[in-house]
Structure 1
Amino acid sequence: MDPANPASFNHRTELLSTGHRYHFVDQLPANYDPATTKTLVCIHGFPDFWYGWRYQIKPWVDLGYRVVVPDKLGYGGTDKPEDASEYSAKKIANDIAALMDLLQLPKAVIIGHDWGCFMASRFALWHPDRLLSLVLMSVPFVPPAKAYTPLEKIVDRVPNWGYHLFFADKASSGVIEKNLAKFNKLIWRDRRNSDVRLSNWTLTGGLPKLLNDDQFDLAGTGLLNQQEFDYYVSQFDSSMHGPLNYYRTTLHRFNEEQDPAILQAPRPDLPVLLIIGKDDPTSNQGALDVTRKMIPHVQIELIDGVGHWLMVESKDHINEAIPRFIRSVSAGEVQTKL
């Protein structure tokens, strides 16, 4: 399990009962016992894939956990349906449940980052009895909406989400694929980069303008070393449509969440940890207040000097903080077959 060698991890590809074929990494600890070993299921965000957890897998396996890390639908070696409706939160939650069924895991610790964080939180609403605990990273909890708000109006309220409108447009797939290296440099850039052209890239029109600007490029590979950067680019070559489809599900997600069967918040006895980088612009105080209101028992950890990419920027802290949380909430539980 060498982060510098993706092939050193245990890769599997299996057909799930939902009809989707998933690629995932499945690492067992040395003394694996299905009756007592806890499993951590790690869900990545955008634009990422299983490799986003490369620095966490071995440390957590060495602590005695089984670690399962899928490529979400549309990514890597997992199926890539064309229709955006296949990427709704309920369907992804059902895929996660089906993956757990395949692995004979009645329950697991569910950990999500970015879009994976949203999907992990929705898994807790659609399949509440399948979680031992829930860890949310970089994205505060948002409850199901009571009324539909078009993406355009959301962006009017939150201008920094203007790039969502670009991603929601199917034309964005081709634009990004033509400028994949530049796009990844922008996503993984050091947030301290002072280039003034980066000040409004998130606003409506800002990102496509930068990508189509032949005079614009960023030096270096940001938070990634050259080998990691090249691997990321290779994994997304000509395959951005699936990842971007998640941004095209606003109405699909609203419609499915009108189902009275969905919970409005994680169940009250479910241990929940939210980890946020203080320098992450996607997490403001208002969003944290909503999380505290909807999940009163949530533990919130804010990390100084860290932005959005927690698993890379603060890998040592994450490697220690999440197992510490799991141990703390498990201290008094009676060991039963998991």
Structure 2
Amino acid sequence: MEAIRHTKIRVNGINMHVAEIAGDGLPVLFLHGFPELWYSWRHQMLYLSALGYRTIAPDLRGYGETDAPPSAADYSAFHIVGDLVSLLDALGLDQVFLVGHDWGAIIAWYFCLLRPDRIKALVNMSVVFSPRNPVRKPIESMRAMFGNDYYICRFQQPGEAEEELARVDTALVIKKFLASRNPGLLCVPKEVGLGGNPNSKITLPSWLSEDDVNYYATSFNRTGFTGGLNYYRALDLNWELTAAWTGVQIKVPVKFIVGDLDLTYNTPGVKDFIHKGGFNKHVPFLQELVIMEGVAHYINQEKPQEVNQHIYDFIKKF
């Protein structure tokens, strides 16, 4: 880990914390999800840098040591992709291999939609591309399909989710997210609270140490969760702003990886979309699809060696 260099770079009007391992080879940009940090890519950074790649993992806007504007209106896909294009410019990089997971995967799809010229190829994990519905906003659709207790619907009201999460030790919140292996729909009634039982005990899986949990918890204790939650609160704003991109395909080479226990893969309709032609229609340059058996959502941390190999096997072709 001492090989990883940490810097602050001014991008798109904010200060961004960037973890990087220098290399003479092609650059790989990693985008993390919720509730994560650059740190969730530590295994991939070390592995690919040992093969000569230049590995770059920022704390995205709202996370860790990167600035966190308070308003959800500052977390549109245009803001986040703007940060990343500005980062590439600051680093003097014309193109990168892009690797995303969870919200990082959503941002990666937007990056490829808006600026495909900057992406050599994409390895995306967990969250499949979601084409824009021209007639109904995302939150309205989720409420109709999954109810008001669906976790993304529960995240919408500013301050409410933060208050519920604050009732539970931050380390326990991190454990509940990262160690979850329930592939079912994540619905949380208000009487249960998003943090759940503050006295619950969670046995950590072998791939997640107390030190790992403490790294995340220390950061989120300092920043709170609002930055990350604002991505969910900007979903409808993204819908409004991207009307001109309705029906536009993802036109970069793609490898998609998901675990069969991932709650996103088991969301109603997603398997049919992936396996019955919808995914290929919207992502015509999809070259590889990997369903990892017995693997849950936080795939790059749960199965680092396998994911490392999957990434390398794909990007070495370019």
Q: TM-score, normalised by structure 1?
A: 0.84
Maintained 8 Å contact 1:125/1:263: no
**Does 1:49 pair with 2:49?**
no
Which of 58, 61, 64 is equivalent to 1:73? 61
SS of 1:203's equivalent in the other structure is: coil
The 1:62/1:199 distance shift into structure 2, 3 A limit, reads: closer
Distance in 1, Cα, partners of 2:96 & 2:184: 40
The 1:245/1:297 distance shift into structure 2, 3 A limit, reads: same
- Alignment correspondent of 1:277: 259
- Alignment correspondent of 1:232: 216
- Alignment correspondent of 2:294: 305
Distance in 1, Cα, partners of 2:178 & 2:304: 15
SS of 1:259's equivalent in the other structure is: helix
**Structure 1: which 5+ runs fail to align?**
3-7, 193-197, 331-338
The 1:161/1:247 distance shift into structure 2, 3 A limit, reads: farther
Deviations 1:214-265 (A, max 9, x none): 5x512333452111111111110142111111110122101110135x7712
The 1:156/1:318 distance shift into structure 2, 3 A limit, reads: same
- Alignment correspondent of 1:333: none
Percent of aligned pairs sharing the same letter: 29
- Alignment correspondent of 2:234: 249
Matches within 5 A, 1:73-222: 73-149=61-137, 151-158=139-146, 162-170=150-158, 171-179=160-168, 180-191=170-181, 202-205=186-189, 208-209=192-193, 211=195, 213-214=197-198, 216-222=199-205
Letter paired with 2:87: L
SS of 2:135's equivalent in the other structure is: coil
SS of 2:98's equivalent in the other structure is: strand
- Alignment correspondent of 1:23: 17
The 1:150/1:50 distance shift into structure 2, 3 A limit, reads: closer
Deviates more, 1:287-296 or 1:158-167: 158-167
Which of 12, 21, 25 is equivalent to 2:7? 12
Deviations 1:122-151 (A, max 9, x none): 000111111100111011111233123251
**Alpha-carbon offset, residue 160 of structure 1:** 10
**Alpha-carbon offset, residue 209 of structure 1:** 2.9
Which of 44, 51, 57 is equivalent to 1:63? 51
Distance in 2, Cα, partners of 1:41 & 1:263: 26
Distance in 2, Cα, partners of 1:207 & 1:249: 25
SS of 1:111's equivalent in the other structure is: strand
SS of 2:124's equivalent in the other structure is: strand
CA RMSD, aligned part only?
2.2
**Alpha-carbon offset, residue 176 of structure 1:** 1.2
Maintained 8 Å contact 1:13/1:24: yes
The 1:190/1:145 distance shift into structure 2, 3 A limit, reads: closer
**Alpha-carbon offset, residue 60 of structure 1:** 0.3
The 1:98/1:319 distance shift into structure 2, 3 A limit, reads: same
The 1:207/1:117 distance shift into structure 2, 3 A limit, reads: farther
Deviates more, 1:309-318 or 1:219-228: 219-228
Which of 323, 326, 333 is equivalent to 2:312? 323
Letter paired with 2:181: R
**Structure 2: which 5+ runs fail to align?**
none
SS of 1:12's equivalent in the other structure is: strand
SS of 1:311's equivalent in the other structure is: helix
Q: TM-score, normalised by structure 2?
A: 0.89
